[in-house]
Chain A
Amino acid sequence: MTMYVRRRYIAVKVDGNKEFNGKEVFNAVWNSLTRLFGEHGASLAELSLIEYNQEKRQAIFRCSHKALDMVKASITAVTEVSNEKACLHVARVSGTLKSLRTRTASLK
């Protein structure tokens, strides 16, 4: 029997003076998640970076739907990305990647 895992896709806007790459943004969110909820909490979140658009400064994360609140709090709590002051804002949350892409296309 396979277990269906419900997931959530989160579009995140990156705000800062420096250009960052996807790995740096993911590390910032991961560090924030482990600081706030510990390694056990981070393991429940099943966080992964789907894509990072450097031009739009927009990232898409995937997480478990049960850990959505944890991940959103961790994203908001980010104040630094690779030792540079920056902040991340949750732009949209969706259940499928397709609908998230459609809805974020209208964002600036």
Chain B
Amino acid sequence: MKFYVDLHLCPQTSNLSHVSSMVEKAAAFGYKAAGITISSKATTEETQKLKESCSSFGVDFITRVDLAPKSVGEMLKNLRSLRRKAEVIAVECFSKQVARQAAKDRRVDLIRFSLVNPKSRFFDVAEAELASGSTASLEIDMAPLLTLQGFRRAGLLSSLRREVQIANKAHVPIVLSSGADEPILLRAADDYCSLAYLFGMERYEARKAFSENPKAIVERNRRKLSPDFVAPRVYVVRRGKS
């Protein structure tokens, strides 16, 4: 069985029973790890409670921070203060300047775009080239595909189809996430892979976007956050007796 990861589970973190119901459902659907968005001001105790809630269902808890900066300066400031605290950092890009900076900044793991306004989706060829040179992946939430209807869903599918083609051409990894804020919106990874057919993703690509790609991000960042990390590609292998 594949190691499926849902990097964007959105329960109300203040309500632990809601978190539990979401994580229970995710575990039932075969997800082995879940990224839950925490506030940038979340305390260690709050994070610990979320971790316990996840581990009680056998789901690995991944700390994630979502940034929605209005300017490049704000994004850089937030990245400086939060990079060592969260395992995954996602940046929602509302302007082209922020999108370009996020794509080339190696501290950004995921870049996201507005799911309701097609004009605010800045993932073009130039953005993909910048992202392919750094570590940023394109994140696509699946929940809006279930909640939107008619013209809006058609517009979103059209944008996603184009972006998936651009990302594949530039070798930018794609990460598919549920983006579910209610248990009823959560689906099994295989069901989401069926839904990814709507915007032209092959089944094996969709599976990779739900398993290998998010797993690689988390493993890379956990290595960096571990006390054995010295510098890129330099790690403490063994410690001597002091």
- Please give the residue numbers on chain A whose beta carbons come within 8 Å of chain B beta carbons, in ascending order: 15-16, 35-36, 69-70, 72-73, 75-77, 79, 85-87, 89-90
State whether B147 touches A76 (Cβ < 8 A): no
With A73-B197, A79-B184 known as contacts, the answer to whether A90 contacts B190 (CB < 8 A) is yes
CB nearest to B25 among chain A residues: A15
State whether A77 touches B146 (Cβ < 8 A): yes
State whether A69 touches B197 (Cβ < 8 A): yes
In the bound assembly, the distance between CA atoms of A72 and B191 in angstroms comes to: 7
**Which chain B positions have C-beta within 8 A of A76?**
146, 187, 191-192, 194-195
* Size class of the contact patch on chain B: 10 to 19
With A35-B149, A76-B191, A77-B146 known as contacts, the answer to whether A87 contacts B198 (CB < 8 A) is no
B181-205 vs A: 1/0 string, CB under 8 Å? 0001111101110110110000000
Q: Is B76 an interface residue (CB 8 A)?
A: no
State whether A77 touches B145 (Cβ < 8 A): yes
Measured CB to CB, the closest approach of chain A to B97, in angstroms, equals 35
Which of the residues B145, B187, B194 comes within 8 Å of A69, measured between beta carbons? B194
State whether A77 touches B184 (Cβ < 8 A): no
**Which chain A positions have C-beta within 8 A of B190?**
90
Give 26 CB contacts A-B under 8 Å: A15-B184, A16-B184, A35-B149, A35-B150, A36-B198, A69-B194, A72-B194, A72-B197, A75-B194, A76-B146, A76-B194, A77-B146, A77-B195, A79-B146, A79-B184, A79-B185, A85-B184, A86-B184, A87-B184, A87-B185, A89-B187, A89-B188, A89-B191, A90-B190, A90-B191, A90-B194
Q: Which 9 A-B pairs have the closest CB atoms?
A: A72-B194, A76-B191, A69-B197, A76-B195, A73-B194, A76-B194, A85-B184, A73-B197, A79-B146
Measured CB to CB, the closest approach of chain A to B102, in angstroms, equals 30
State whether B187 touches A79 (Cβ < 8 A): no
CB nearest to A36 among chain B residues: B198
**Which chain B positions have C-beta within 8 A of A16?**
184
Measured CB to CB, the closest approach of chain B to A30, in angstroms, equals 16
Measured CB to CB, the closest approach of chain A to B176, in angstroms, equals 13
Measured CB to CB, the closest approach of chain A to B74, in angstroms, equals 35
Measured CB to CB, the closest approach of chain B to A14, in angstroms, equals 12
State whether A79 touches B198 (Cβ < 8 A): no
State whether B194 touches A79 (Cβ < 8 A): no
Measured CB to CB, the closest approach of chain B to A75, in angstroms, equals 8
In the bound assembly, the distance between CA atoms of A79 and B145 in angstroms comes to: 11
**Which chain B positions have C-beta within 8 A of A87?**
184-187
CB nearest to A86 among chain B residues: B184
CB nearest to A70 among chain B residues: B197
In the bound assembly, the distance between CA atoms of A76 and B184 in angstroms comes to: 11
With A35-B149, A90-B190 known as contacts, the answer to whether A73 contacts B184 (CB < 8 A) is no
In the bound assembly, the distance between CA atoms of A69 and B149 in angstroms comes to: 20
CB nearest to B198 among chain A residues: A73
State whether A73 touches B146 (Cβ < 8 A): no
In the bound assembly, the distance between CA atoms of A57 and B149 in angstroms comes to: 26
**Which chain B positions have C-beta within 8 A of A73?**
194-195, 197-198
**Which chain B positions have C-beta within 8 A of A35?**
149-150
Measured CB to CB, the closest approach of chain A to B149, in angstroms, equals 7
